[in-house]
Amino acid sequence: MPRRRGDIQNPDYVKDTLDRRSFLKKSAGLAGLTGAAAYLGLAPENWPLSLKDITGRRSEPTVESFRLTDYRVPPPPGVKDVVVGRGGTVEQRLAKALDGIGGLTHYIKPGDIVLVKPNVAFDRSPNLGATSNPETMDRLIRMLLVDCKVQEVRVADNPIESPSDCFVKSGIAGAVDQAGGRIYLPDSNAFRMLNTPGATLIENWWFMHRPLTNVDKVIGIAPVKDHNLCSASMGIKNWYGLLGGRRNQFHQDIHEIVSDLSIMIRPTLTILDGSNILMSNGPTGGDPSNVKKGDAVMVATDPVAQDAWAFEHLLERGTDYPEYLHRSEEKGSGRVDWRGRLEELV
Amino acid sequence: MTPNPLQIQVQPEGPPKVLKKFRLTNVRIVSQAFFFAAFILAVWATWTSRLGGYPVSRFLEMDPLVGLSTALATGYVYRFLGWGLILLGVTLVFGRVFCNWMCPYGTLHQFIGWLVNIRKHPDRWKSNYYKPIYFLKYTILTVFLIMAAFGSLQIGLLDPICLMYRSLATAVAPASDMLVGILGNKVDWVGIDPGLLDPLLFAPGSQNRVFVGSFWIGLFLASLVGMNLVIPRFFCRVLCPLGALLGVLSRYSLFRINRDVHKCTDCNLCLTRCEGASDPQGALRLSECFGCMNCIDDCPEDALSFTMIGQDKKQVVPGPELGRRRLVFSGVAGLLAYPFIKNDGVNTNENYSADLIRPPGSVEESDFLSKCIKCDQCINACPTNVLQPATMDEAGFEGLWTPVMNFNIGHCQLKCTLCSEVCPTGAIRKITVEEKLGKGDYAEIGAISLGTAFFDRGRCLPHAMEIPCVVCEEVCPTSPKAIQTVDVEAKNVFGEIVMLNKPFMVPDLCIGCGICQTECPVTDSRAVYVTPVGETRSEERRLLLNKRNQAEA
């Protein structure tokens, strides 16, 4: 039978006594606790361990931000900034373009962790041209794993529609799984505050951070799409898909945000897939009649020139380039004038 | 009495040792664990990246109350609801064993009761006496069935499978995801490679699913579970309409608990862990017995057995304690409940909520209310979180917790028909993507429209404030787009020339998917919003006389 204090009925009742020793012990303990509480609550703000908050601002949540590293790699000498692969299958065009820019192995080293960023913004089948081409994805991931012997290929995007659905129905999930890559879906924990010096709208903005942890190289792979507001969604606009937060506000200044994207992340390579070109009803498409079959895959170290050429030759919209390309050039992301810096391999 | 070792040695009768060790209650626990795990697995698997033709709604389809009440309400038995016959068969052979061998909700209550150990009291057998209040479930069943016969299906409020599914899907699963997410985030900051974590268990890749009114659904669950402290198995003994239905049927069952009055010493130990409060110490109340077999375990005299042969006909009360008076009273209550709930007037074709947008494939509203069992499985399957349990504002009490679409939270994805795939009763008829989008064989009928989008030009940035925007036009998924723009160059109040793409609606093309509303940056009261008028499921709620694009084609 356990001893119970205060229970007189209990035969094992122990009288509750307070001797000097325990009195002193208890007093000391109480004084210590009270003193500690008094210090924490009353000490001035600048004292160590003080919890004092006079203005109420000290308790405001602070968000730590991080910065991205520059993922660019100097191209081998004599190589053009933009290379277009033409003819044959998508895989052949991709291989041609990559060879033309100096070979994928020049940019990616064995043991690297590589992030591949496709455009999976919508829940559309691949033939509708609204999302990146799964065949190109498949080929690229296999090259990275087999030829470049990378440690891991990650694939990530923050789609507008349900992430799981967009990845599955665009065919990207299947391609990535088969080729041996790993998909990172955005959930509320995947984002952190990114600090981009020089950006006007997104100097500090929520960014899909998780897939970029410990990443060595970044490759963007985007389709070429019509877009009502900014006239074309191509390689640079693709990075929009790593933003989180209330990004639907950016349409109020779309050209500024796209040019901000060009300095937000400095990818190793940008691949622009002109196989299914969304000519109208973009960027969602929705009908095969909106899509034109093309035969060009572009790889670039200068995403601005790449977008300019694609705007002119793939979307066939002349040389009245979108405003955001000029602003990107002003911000130092590349040069709009692609002439003399581009090579077409047939 | 002290045991005499000699006597034990010479006693030759009694079952052999092996059989004595074999306990039916152990088998029962295995069965309960299996069905409980299967149920959780089904809730877990009902997510867009996991569904692959598995029979995730089998529990709901096996529920004979779902089959019976929808058959009463509609006159037909939808898709797989015939599976309920299996359970009827089991009940006719073994009695109401579903409640303590299969029902996941019963298992939950029993487990919680065991966990809090309220019955470890020396007098705990007293809480297992039959109480008159236990007749209430038969009243509830009668009221629900009569209402169903008139065409208003309310069994889902209390049917244990529907109730448990709803509670898990809209309260427990998102709570689990949120807690795991918060913890996952903490781990992120500590510096463990966050790439290794896939924090969300039930809805990976989603951003914190929320469910309108899930607080009340969660509180309802917690209250019912908490009632186990007052009356053990409170829900099962007092409220459960499915238990009542099976209880009525169990009077015809072949097997039952039988008491050998010659062996019985009236010690009442059989009541110690009696789950159903079915009085095994006296005349067994067959309709109350869950077949938990605890009494057989607890009987020191081997006087109780679960048997088909040699039953003592005197020691049984076959039917439920529902006298003629109570039956008539319940019937009248059901009769009155129907007009009460229908004349509420918040969901008629003249006066219906602008927020009452039903998922694609839903049948016409009154038909819908005669089929929907509020299990909220569709809501769990929805990948964009647009499907929400209705509050009384949208659909009145009759439509409480039925699925409605809230486009502030999500949108209806173009190529998704998951809600229609999982619906066990056909309130959301099974449709294909072709049918939803009006392609292929359905080209002449056209796409299924959930409603029509409207602009609030006083709040729209390009219209009211000369600020460029048109996110709505960008995301509009139809081809050609139902939201188009008039492009004007205007001088704003600061003297700057701005290019404005002013959006306008083409109602003929709008399918009411709501992505424009979801993505509209005017977040409190959206500048573009969808209302159900023009939904294709209803002739009465039509908007356009002709769809101009179809007239041309």
Three-class DSSP labels, chain A: CCCCECCCCCCCCECCCCCHHHHHHHHHHHHHHHHHHHHHHHCCCCCCCCCCCCCCCCCCCCCCEECCCCCCCCCCCCCCCEEEEECCCHHHHHHHHHHHCCCHHHHCCCCCEEEEEECCCCCCCHHHCCCCCHHHHHHHHHHHHHHCCCCEEEEECCCCCCHHHHHHHCCHHHHHHHHCCEEECCCCCCEEEEECCCCCCCCEEEEECHHHCCCCEEEEEEEEEEECCCEEECCCHHHHHHECCCHHHHHHHHHHHHHHHHHHCCCCEEEEEEEEEECCCCCCCCCHHHEEEEEEEEEECCHHHHHHHHHHHHCCCCCCCCHHHHHHHHCCCCCCCCCCCEEEEC
Residues B393 and B268 in one domain: no
Of A122, A185, A252, the CB nearest to B204: A185
Residues B158 and B297 in one domain: yes
* Mean local confidence (pLDDT), A214-232: 93
The answer to whether B510 contacts chain A (CB < 8 Å) is no
- B340: in domain: no
Residues B164 and B36 in one domain: yes
pLDDT greater than 80 at residue B123: no
Chain B residues in contact with A284 (beta carbon < 8 A): 474-477, 479, 481
The answer to whether A283 contacts chain B (CB < 8 Å) is yes
Cβ neighbours of residue B391 closer than 8 Å, sequence gap 6 or more:
B212, B213, B400
Residues B94 and B156 in one domain: yes
Rounded Cα–Cα distance for residues B517 and B527 (Å): 8
Residues B500 and B425 in one domain: no
Chain B residues in contact with A233 (beta carbon < 8 A): none
Which 193-212 residues of chain B touch chain A by CB within 8 A? 193-195, 197, 199-200, 204-208
- The pLDDT, as a whole number, for residue B182 is 76
> What's the longest Cα–Cα distance across chain A?
102
Residues B421 and B480 in one domain: no
Residues B410 and B472 in one domain: no
- B67: in domain: yes
Alpha-carbon separation of residue B50 from A93, A205, B56 (angstroms):
35, 32, 11
Confidence tier at A9 by pLDDT (50, 70, 90): low
Rounded to the nearest 10 degrees, the angle between the axes of helix B160-167 and helix B241-249 is 150
Residue B460 C-alpha, separation from nearest chain A C-alpha, in angstroms: 12
Ordered by start, the domain boundaries in chain A are: 1-60, 65-345
Residues B31 and B139 in one domain: yes
What does the pLDDT look like over A60-76, one tens digit per residue?
A: 888 889 999 999 999 99
What does the pLDDT look like over B283-315, one tens digit per residue?
A: 999 999 999 999 999 999 999 999 998 888 888
Rounded Cα–Cα distance for residues B411 and B233 (Å): 40
- Token digits for B19? 């059989």
Task: Give me the DSSP letters along B368-385.
Answer: HHTT-----HHHHH-TTS
Rounded Cα–Cα distance for residues B395 and B409 (Å): 18
* Mean local confidence (pLDDT), A79-99: 93
Q: How far is CA B222 from the centre of its chain?
A: 16
- B435: in domain: yes
What does the pLDDT look like over B445-472, one tens digit per residue?
A: 899 999 999 999 999 999 999 999 999 9
CATH value at residue B410 = 3.30.70.20
- The pLDDT, as a whole number, for residue B205 is 78
Backbone angles phi, psi at B132, to 5 degrees: -60, -30
Of A185, A248, A287, the CB nearest to B479: A287
- B7: in domain: no
Mean pLDDT estimate for chain A:
91
- The pLDDT, as a whole number, for residue B178 is 86
Rounded Cα–Cα distance for residues B136 and B132 (Å): 8
Closest residue on chain A to B382 (Cα): A162
- The pLDDT, as a whole number, for residue B15 is 55
What does the pLDDT look like over A131-181, one tens digit per residue?
A: 999 999 999 999 999 999 999 999 999 999 999 889 999 999 999 999 999
Residues B220 and B113 in one domain: yes
- The pLDDT, as a whole number, for residue B48 is 85
pLDDT greater than 80 at residue B185: no
- The pLDDT, as a whole number, for residue A190 is 83
- Token digits for B292? 């938990």
pLDDT greater than 80 at residue A100: yes
Which 117-146 residues of chain A touch chain B by CB within 8 A? 122-125
- B328: in domain: no
- The pLDDT, as a whole number, for residue A116 is 97
Structural domain including B477 reads 452-543
CB contact under 8 A, B474 and A227: yes
Residues B257 and B304 in one domain: yes
What does the pLDDT look like over A231-289, one tens digit per residue?
A: 899 999 999 999 999 999 999 999 999 999 999 999 999 999 999 999 999 899 888 99
- Token digits for A124? 């559309």
- Token digits for B543? 């908007």
What does the pLDDT look like over B417-438, one tens digit per residue?
A: 999 999 999 999 999 999 999 9
What does the pLDDT look like over B531-552, one tens digit per residue?
A: 999 999 999 999 988 888 765 4
How many residues does the structure list for chain A?
346
Confidence tier at B174 by pLDDT (50, 70, 90): very high
pLDDT greater than 60 at residue B18: no
Domain count, chain B: 3
Domain A65-345 fold is Rossmann fold (3.40.50)
- B231: in domain: yes
Instruction: State the distance between the two ends of chain A, measured CA to CA, in whole angstroms.
Output: 93
Confidence tier at B8 by pLDDT (50, 70, 90): very low
Rounded Cα–Cα distance for residues B460 and B516 (Å): 12
> Using an 8 Å Cβ cutoff, are B88 and B96 in contact?
no
Residues B111 and B231 in one domain: yes
Residues B247 and B155 in one domain: yes
- B399: in domain: yes
Of A188, A211, A285, the CB nearest to B207: A188
Q: Is the pTM of this model over 0.80?
A: yes
pLDDT greater than 60 at residue B193: no
* Mean local confidence (pLDDT), B180-199: 63
